[in-house]
Amino acid sequence: MSLDLDNLVISREGRPMVALSCHVAPGEVLSIMGPSGCGKSTLLAALVGALPPAFSMQGRVVLNGRDITAVPTHARRLGILFQDDILFPHLSVGANLGFGLPRSGPDRGQAISTALEEAGLGGLQARDPASLSGGQRARVALMRTLLSDPLGLLLDEPFSKLDSALRAQMREFVFARARARHLPVVLVTHDLEDARAAGGPVLDVLGNHLSLPVSSPADLSARTS
Amino acid sequence: MARIGLWAALAVLALPVLAGLAGVIGPAFGYFPALGSTQISPEPMRALFAWPGLGTAMRLSVTTGFLATALSLALTVLIVAAWQGTQSFLWVTRVLAPFLALPHAAAAFGLAFLIAPSGWIARALSPWATGWDRPPDLLLVNDPFGFALVAGLVLKEVPFLLLMTLAALPQADSLRSQLVARALGYGRVTGWLKAVAPRVYAQIRLPVYAVLAYSMSVVDVAHILGPTRPPTLAVQILEWSTHPDLAMRFQAAAGALLQLGLVLVALAVWRGAEWGIGWLGTRWAAGGARGQKLDIVLRPLGAAGAVLIGLAVGLGLAGLLVWSFAGLWRFPSVWPEVWTLRNWAGQSADLGRILRDTAVIAFGSTAIALALAIAALHASPGAGGARLGLIYLPLIVPQIAFLPGLASFALVLGLDGTRMAVMLAHLIFVLPYVYLVLADPWRAWDARAGVAAAALGAGPVRVLWSVRLPMLTRALAVAFAVGFATSVAQYLPSLLIGAGRVSTVTTEAVALASSGNRRLIGVWAAVQMALPMAMFALCLAVPALLFRYRQGMRIA
């Protein structure tokens, strides 16, 4: 599995904001960094097929060899995680996971409880998502996305609202699962630590390679712990 | 394909109004093939202007309309400006819903029972304070100036304008602007008027126009509280429209056209006044007067206005209920000497049948309106600026100006006098309210939920049905309750399109107005207010029950 951005240019009122051409290998995390308002989130909206009407896009998006540029969001098979968990408030935890699980699967109940076990949330199917902690909700959101069997994963600053201890844990959890499933990942962030932990190439929205400053002892210890 | 919903909604809003106006213009100039008249003639207009009461009727329409609108707007602005951001204001916003659900006619009857010479206020003060041991011979209801009518309109229009203002406040950044003004040394009211009012008014302009048009041309409230001999123009037009002598229909059509012209001129005058007040207001704002002392007078005044409206409506409704159970009740007694169920028992046969018809019509028109509103909102992702104006078309063109024409069409098509036709006529007025109530929560919905669902493989239909609509359950329920209440309250469409063969609780109640039988009026007006209230309670309870284990579905 891999994700290719082929001469992708996103413009607003004729002015290009984002210009990228790159290849994301299976299990690799491409980090896109930049200040807020530079078009990072717009890039993800374009990749997932939900570009606001004010923007226009040229170039191609190719997922696993299939050109998905004109494919509607629901048929792209690209999972996305936002800053907020966006769990559906009217559904239980189990029903949220069931929403992501394709219909044709053999034992849906089993798949859901396995996913919850994997996230360390075994037996919480019937819970109201609003009754979970922020970290638990973030994990449910990830498992919901993974259950939908995506071929790639998009992360829109998904760790920025978690507190720092939880953030390191959650990064590890997300990246490990993406690697295990060989998913190409595009991570959008303004947090150096996210990009460092991702371990892949780091670009800005115009495709320039960024080199990360040397880690401070504090984050070294955070990573080794 | 997706745009069909939008076009259907626009058609429901615009076509009946245009067709109805066309159906009025013809007869106004003598052209009415259904009555065998195909000659264009000035006769209907001549007959209209020959009616001796015309001048007074027109003047009443204008004065009561302007007075009711100006008072309602002033009171609304005063309540918000003086009390926004306080605990009392929060409480006012919470009790707004039942006031909105209350039909105009029920509020009007309640007020009439309260202020009449033999009403509760006179009873409470007699004989110890007034010396009256029989009802005084005062024309307090149906007074020749229409003051009672104005009061009755204000009772209902203030809650409506308050709701519209509440919706506009966040976009006007009201709280922070007022805070900045107060930090600069302005009093609450002055600061709000100078810093916030222009932005808020720009957003509630169309609702204000609707209030003006409605107040000038209302029939049921004017029939209950307004002057008689001559009545307001709208009431007189209805009298001609339903006159057994069909020749009067021509005169009615001419009157309807005159009423429309009157409303259009009034709207233009109001628009002109906006310019003038805006110009003066800008100079006033730039002048720098802080108006701190004004708060001492204006804050209690706003509070008094709100409390008075609450009391008038609350006591009025209580009065209706008491009268419906009253047996013998002599004048100065505050309570009936004898309580009885006879008033209710005597009506039970009609009550069941008419209540059922009213509920069926309201249910049907609201269900169709909700489906159309959802389809229209779904089809127009952005805020449909230009289209929003059309939503107000049936609220700004007076009912009395186009419904007689629409009734003629229904007659020609053989549709008049059926529940289906009445239901469709209600739809014209239910749809705007349902749409207005639903539009804000619809657009406020977090679109990322839709992207998240789609990224999980859900197509547009599934996103709508499994994510967006369930997440908006509460807003949908409130929109349904508002639509239902709007339908129950309709008087003219039920009467004219129903052609006397379809009765609703509202036509029954209003028909009793001139009978003076307070016990019967009490019964029917009580039913008229209870039906929409019950639906409101149900629509608040069902989502609360459905999502009792889902904290995220509670009101934020």
**In this structure, are A54 and A104 located in the same domain?**
no
User: B488 with B528: CB under 8 angstroms?
Assistant: yes
pLDDT in tens, B45-81: 887 788 888 888 899 999 999 999 999 999 999 999 8
User: Within this chain, do residues A120 and A186 fall inside the same structural domain, yes or no?
Assistant: no
CB B405, CB B341: distance < 8 Å: no
Are both A126 and A168 inside the same structural domain?
A: no
Number of compact structural domains in chain A:
2
- Identify whether A84 is part of a domain: no
pTM above 0.90, yes or no: no
- Do A139 and A158 fall within a single domain? no
Structure tokens given for A97? 């996971």
Q: Is A137 on the interface with B (CB under 8 A)?
A: no
How far is B295 from A200, CA to CA, in rounded Å? 63
pLDDT tier, A223 (very low <50, low <70, confident <90, very high otherwise)? very low
Rounded Cα gap, residues B477 and B469, in angstroms: 11
* pLDDT exceeds cutoff 60 at A219: no
A109, A215: one domain = no
| Neighbour tally for B254: CB within 10 Å | 27
Residues A142 and A155 in one domain: no
Interchain proximity B453–A99, CB inside 8 Å: yes
Examine the domain organization and report whether A117 and A217 are in the same domain: no
> Integer distance in angstroms from the first to the last C-alpha of chain B?
35
* pLDDT tens sequence across B353-399: 899 999 999 999 999 999 999 988 888 765 544 456 788 888 888 88
Mutate to test the interface with B, among A90, A93, A112 (most CBs of B within 10 A): A90
Same structural domain for residues A73 and A172?
Answer: yes
| Average pLDDT over every residue of A5-24 | 90
The predicted complex's ipTM stands at 0.85
Same domain for A165 and A70: yes
At residue B386, the pLDDT reads: 47
B400-444 pLDDT per residue, tens: 888 888 888 888 788 878 888 899 999 999 999 899 888 888 888
Better pLDDT: A36 or A152: A152
Of the candidates B446, B451, B466, the beta carbon closest to that of A73 is on B451
Show the tokens assigned to B229.
């001999």
Q: Where among A133, A149, A165 does a domain terminate?
A: A149
Quick: pLDDT tens for B193-225: 888 888 889 888 888 999 999 999 999 999 899
Q: What digits encode the pLDDT tens for the residues A63-121?
A: 998 999 989 999 899 999 998 889 999 899 999 999 988 887 778 889 999 999 988 89
Over residues B114-141, the mean pLDDT reads: 80
Q: Residues B502, B422: contact at Cβ < 8 Å?
A: yes
The 10s digit of each residue's pLDDT in B454-467 is: 999 888 899 999 99
Domain boundary among A149, A165, A189: A149
Residue A58 and residue A104 in one domain: no
pLDDT of residue B427: 93
Tell whether A120 is covered by a domain.
Answer: yes
Please state, rounded to an integer, the average pLDDT across all residues of chain A: 87
Cβ pair B117, B176 in contact under 8 A: no
- Length of chain A as a residue count: 225
Residue A119 shares a structural domain with residue A220:
no
Nearest CB neighbour to A74, from listed B454, B550, B551? B454
Interface contact flag, B452 A89, Cβ < 8 Å: no
- Domains of chain B by start residue, with CATH: 4-14+51-229+289-553 (1.10.3720.10)
Q: Per-residue b/e over B264-299, b at no fewer than 16 CB within 10 Å?
A: eebbeebeeeeeeeeeebeeebeeeeebeebbeebb
Say which of B452, B463, B547 has its CB closest to residue A86: B452
Structural domain including A54 reads: 3-77+150-224
| Residue B2 pLDDT exceeds 80 | no
Report the alpha-carbon distance of residue B13 to residue A88 in Å, rounded.
Answer: 34
A134 shares its domain with A178:
no
**What is the length of chain B?**
556
Last residue of a domain, one of A149, A171, A193: A149
**CATH of residue A9:** 3.40.50.300
Residue numbers in A near B477 (CB within 8 A): none
Q: Is residue A29 part of a domain?
A: yes
Q: Mind listing the pLDDT tens digit for each residue in A119-171?
A: 889 889 899 999 998 889 999 999 999 998 899 999 998 888 888 888 888 88
